Structure 1
Amino acid sequence: MVKIAIIGGTGVYDPSILHNVHTVDITTPYGEVSCQVGEFENKKIAFIPRHGSQHSIAPHLINYRANIWALKKIGVESILATTAVGSLNVAMKPGDFVLVDQFLDFTKSRINTFYEGGERGVVHVDVTEPYCPSLRKKLVEAGKSLGFAVHNKGVYVCAEGPRFETPAEISMFKQMGGDLVGMTNVPEVVLAREAEICYSTISMVTNFAAGISQTPLTHAEVVEAMRKNTQHIKQLVMTAIQLLDTEKDCGCRHALAEYGGFKL
């Protein structure tokens, strides 16, 4: 059974961190999903590049429901997701890693639930702690052991994209308590919670956001920053996986207990 998954964000497309890699095609109610499954430290791990292997899928068009459903279907219980983010907080500098613990949702057109009524009904999932505290603890341990700059808290503002934000928007997000801005973490984190999967995001700061940065923002800048730190983010993820106890239970896996649990 595949209990661990990596969802790779911008710049993290390479499943070669795994051994004995093969492709698995999974049918879901929301479409087909192809993921790579391999091994690391005697653990089976699934890998999905969020934007596609060539960064061909825009943030607002990612099939988030299909991805999470597919991972649940093959038995995944823990997801480590990577994201490239802009910083609103001068203490979180380019090159730093942030283990976000809260989010602000400013998306506009995305379906953010598996439960839209009908046969599946409606649920109201609790997101007091949207990111698994157990996974975040392992990532903090991994960061310390590697000597990386890892912030163990942060508020992720999810914008719709695919454009970058205006300085006025960034100013508003900052006043509302945001630390980082990105385009992909919602609804992914919410769907993982509905699917009763432990989920944590490793956000890598690639730049300061519009109005804080002294220069206009470009996608090339983001990709280049990720390229320079790809090895570090891989090390952080794989070290955390080494520390994971796949037999240990977690409250995230019972998020829909009052509804009888998540049903595929």
Structure 2
Amino acid sequence: MDYPQADIGVFGGSGLYSLLESPAEVTVHTPYGDPSAPITYGEIGGRVVAFMPRHGTSHTIPPHMINYRANVYAMKQMGVSRIIGPNACGSLQAHVKPGDFVVCDQFVDRTKGRKDTFYDGPQTTHVSSADPYCPTMRQVAVETARELGISVHDGGTVVVIQGPRFSTRAESRWFASQGWEVINMTQYPESYLARELEICYCNISLITDYDAGTAGATPVTNDEVVRVFAENTEKIKSLLYAMIPALPEERPCLCATALEGAVF
């Protein structure tokens, strides 16, 4: 089936269930099953943008049950070559405050049992994830955030836990002791699957709380996460609306050629 084509994809996280004004909608079918929701699409600054809430339109899909392969493949079928993945995250370090944005440059995977590759054989394919986030998109995100007066951290490691439970204090202290800045439940395998399809990917972590092991932190609740994200929804939308037109047409980054030398 031929689907409408878009330039840039956005996955909405907790609290971000819509993005575009007066969008069209299409239901995309994939070899990996159904995506989280139909894709809405429309223009932002002259670029055609495809949007999907990764948890579904009413947040009915918990992190460990998201069909990440279907979601990313659906974006590929829409012709998307770049994906922006904003999400709600906890902070593991005191200097990374609730309300801050972190444009991550590394992840640590602590999930289990998730379908995390498109290449199950018989052709063996190993795609490098040494630098998992697009450097071009990261630079544009950071520069645009600063121009908008948003408190943003250039780089940081996100540790991705399985969910749906939050961390124990001991786990949280362990993650913090490694120097990691951000904790989240959805960045893996979403970001890596994009790399396997040679799609550029940029994470924008909106810090909603201090994780349980951070000094002086009270245990996080879902209500608090949603409250802080909702307070900053317009801020993330403003960043996306300014960032998307600023992305260059060309893709000289390593993401665009990720499969070169990866196939045995």
TM-score (norm. length: structure 1) = 0.93
Q: Distance in 2 between matches of 1:259 and 1:192?
A: 15
Contact 1:3 1:246 in 2 (8 A): no
Could you say what secondary structure the match of 2:34 adopts?
strand
Structure 2 CA distance for aligned equivalents of residues 26 and 2 of structure 1 = 13
What root-mean-square deviation, in Å, do the aligned CA atoms of Structure 1 and Structure 2 show? 1.3
Residues in 2 aligned to 1:133 and 1:249: alpha-carbon distance in whole angstroms: 10
Match of 1:147 in 2: 149
**Aligned ranges 1:79-94 → 2 under 5 Å:** 79-94=83-98
Partner residue, 2:47 = 43
2:132 to 130, 145, 150: 130
Cα separation, 1, equivalents of 2:221 and 2:21: 34
The offset of 1:134, in angstroms, is 0.2
Residues 26-60 of structure 1: CA deviation (Å, up to 9, x unaligned): 11111133211111112110001010111110100
- The residue aligned with 2:235 is 232
Q: Secondary structure at the match of 2:11?
A: strand
Distance 2:217 2:47 in 1: 44
Number of aligned positions between the proteins: 256
Residue aligning to 1:2? 6
Query: Is contact 2:92–2:182 with CA below 8 Å preserved after alignment?
Result: yes
What is the CA-CA distance between 1:141 and the residue it aligns to?
Answer: 1.3
One-letter code aligned to 2:194? A
Question: Contact 2:167–2:212 at 8 Å: present in 1 too?
Answer: yes
1:53 to 46, 54, 57: 57
Consecutive unaligned residues in structure 1, runs of 5 or more: none
Return the match for 1:30 from 19, 29, 32: 32
Confirm or deny that 1:165 pairs with 2:164.
no
TM-score, normalised relative to structure 2:
0.93
Runs of 4+ in 1 over 6 A off after TM superposition: none
Unaligned runs of 5+ residues in structure 2 are none
Distance in 1 of aligned mates of 2:107 and 2:142: 19
Q: Report if aligned partners of 2:34, 2:67 keep a CA contact under 8 Å in 1.
A: no
Q: CA offset at residue 20 of structure 1?
A: 4.2
Decide which moves more: 109-118 or 239-248.
Answer: 239-248
Q: State the Cα distance separating 1:3 from its structure 2 match.
A: 1.2
- Once residues 65 and 25 of structure 2 are traced to their aligned partners in structure 1, the CA distance between those partners, rounded to angstroms, is 23
Q: What letter is aligned with 1:244?
A: L
Q: 1:175 to 1:215 in 2, by over 3 A?
A: closer
Cα distance in 2 for residues equivalent to 1:211 and 1:29: 41
